[in-house]
Amino acid sequence: MFAGIAQAGGLERARPAESILFEKGNYAHFSFSQTDADVSGDYPAFVGGGSTGDMANATSHIGFGLKMAINDQLDFAFLMSQPYAADAEYGQGFYNGLTAKWRSTAVDAILKYNLSDRMSVYGGASVLTSSADITIPVALANIASDPDGPAALGGGPQPGSIVSNYSANSSQETDLGFIVGAAYEIPDYAMRVALTYRSEIEHEFDARESYTQLSLPGGAPTFTAISTTTKTPVIMPQSLTLDFQTGVAPKTLVFGSVKWTEWSKWQVKPGAYEAETGGEITSFDNDTFTYQLGVGRQLSEQFSVFARAGYESKKGGESSRLSPTDGYTSIGLGGSYTMGQAKITAGVEHAWLGDAESSTPTDFSDNTATGFGISVGFSF
C-alpha cells in the first residue's frame, strides 16, 4: 500500500514489493519515492563543540514490478528496486568535509506455486549491485598505533604518524542472493499471512584508497601521499519478514508487518584504513526489528484511504556516521484511486528518529524524517 517509507533500519530506504505476487491476473506497477531526513548532532567540548549541521541529504528511489499469471498454479514476478542508500555530508565543525554515499539496485525474479486456493510457496533469485564513496578530512586524522606499519604498504607509518585527507572509492559490484517464502490465505475474509526470507549478499569491493601520511621522524615533519587498491568485503544483511492482513469489517482491512534484519554483520573496513587505524570506517553494532501496523478503508468503488504506524526499537551501541540514528516512531497516511484497469496509490510518512551517539562521541537527538511516494499500477 505504501510507495515509500520515511526511515528504516541500517541503510534500508525502500523495500522490494513482493506483495505483487498476490495481485490477481497480470499486473505491473511503477513507483517513485523520496526520503528527506533532518539529522544533526552536537560535538563534545573537547573537539570544539557546536553543531554538525544537517548531515543527511535527501535520497530518491524508483521501482518497477511485473507479475504474470502463467497458469492456475504458477505465477512469476520481476522486481526492480533501490533498497539501500545513504548520502551523508557534514558541513560544520569537527566532521566538516566528511562525505559518504551508498548506492544500490536490486533485481528479483520470483516464482510462486499455488498449492491450493489458500496455500502457496515462492522463491527466486535476487541480484544486488552496490557501490560507495567516502571522504574523511584532516580533522578526522587518526594516529597510527602500529609502529611497524602494514607490510602491504611497504612498512607503513612510524610511531606518531598521522593519517589524514583519506578517501575511498569502491568498484561497482554485482552479487547473487536468494528469496524463499510461504503464504496462507482465506480469500473470503481478505486474510493473508506471508513469511519471506531474503539471504545475505556478500560483495567484495575493490577499494581505491588515497590519503596523506604525516610522520615526525626526529621531529621533522614528512608528508607521504599514498594510493592503493585493496579488497573490501561487505555483507548486505539477511532478513526475515512476516506480513499480514485481514478484513475486520465490510470494506475495512487491517495490515502490518514484523521484520528482522541482521545489520550487526554489516561493516565497511577497507584494507589500508584498517591497517593504518586498526578499525573500520563505519558499522552497525546490532540487528534491527521493525514493526508496522495499519488500517485501510474503502470509501467507494474507486477510492480507498489508509493509515499506518511504524516502530523500530532502539539498538544501543555506537551508531554509524552514515546513519546516526537509533530506531524510530512513524505515522503515515495515503490513498488509492482506481480508474478502470489502472490504480494510483500515494502516501506520505513522517518519522521521529531515535537519539544516537556516534564516534567522537557526537550526540544526535531530536531528529526527524519525511518520506513520500507514488505508484501507478495496471491490471491486464
Q: What is the pLDDT of residues 161-187, one digit of tens each?
A: 677 899 999 999 999 999 999 999 999
**The predicted structure's pLDDT at residue 208:** 97
List the CATH code of the domain at 18-379.
2.40.160.60
Three-class SS of 47-58: HCCCECCCCECC
DSSP state of 322: S
Q: What is the pLDDT of residues 206-251, one digit of tens each?
A: 999 999 988 776 667 888 999 999 999 999 999 999 999 999 999 9
Distance CA 232, CA 207 (A): 6
Q: What is the pLDDT of residues 140-165, one digit of tens each?
A: 655 443 434 443 344 444 445 677 89
**The predicted structure's pLDDT at residue 152:** 35
Cell of 322: 552514515
- Residue for cell digits 554489516? 266
**Mean pLDDT within 77-94:** 94
What's the Rg (C-alpha) of the chain? 23
Give me the residue spans of the domains in the chain.
18-379
Pairing outcome for strands 142-143 and 252-261: unpaired
Cell of 258: 514484523
Cβ burial, residue 36 (10 Å; 0-12/13-18/19+)? middle
Distance CA 288, CA 239 (A): 10
If residue 272 lies in a helix (H) or strand (E), which one and from where to where? helix 271-277
Q: What is the pLDDT of residues 220-232, one digit of tens each?
A: 788 899 999 999 9
Question: Model-level pTM?
Answer: 0.91
Q: What is the pLDDT of residues 347-374, one digit of tens each?
A: 999 999 999 998 778 999 999 999 999 9
